[in-house]
Amino acid sequence: MLRNIYFLIIIACTCNNHSRQCRFNKELYLLSGRKSGGICIQCKHNTVGRYCSYCKETFYRDPNLPITHPEICK
């Protein structure tokens, strides 16, 4: 009899190249229809947010650059 079987699901972080780390949030995963439950942590390049898609306070987003650019927030 097998007990304590765990399944590991690996889903890439969607952090727009501003973080390599994310943590899984089961509630967000279920609310998204089992599509996305990742929350980016330690966003770089002056970005913040679940997907590192917003600029930190006092920084502005350069509309001429893609969201993945390291100098998106100036």
Output the pLDDT for position 36: 83
Of 2-6, 13-17, 52-56, the one with minimum mean pLDDT is 2-6
Q: What residues does each domain of the chain span?
A: 7-74
Give the pLDDT band (50/70/90) at residue 13: confident
Q: What is the pairing mode between strands 54-55 and 21-24?
A: unpaired
* One-letter identity of residue 48: V
Token pair for residue 3?
Answer: 């007990």
Name the CATH architecture for the domain at 7-74. Answer: Beta Complex (2.170)
Identify the sign of the CA torsion 22, 26, 29, 34.
positive
pLDDT tens-digit map of 19-33 = 999 999 999 989 989
Q: How confident is the model at residue 5 (pLDDT cuts 50, 70, 90)?
A: low
Question: Tell me, what's the pLDDT at 35?
Answer: 86
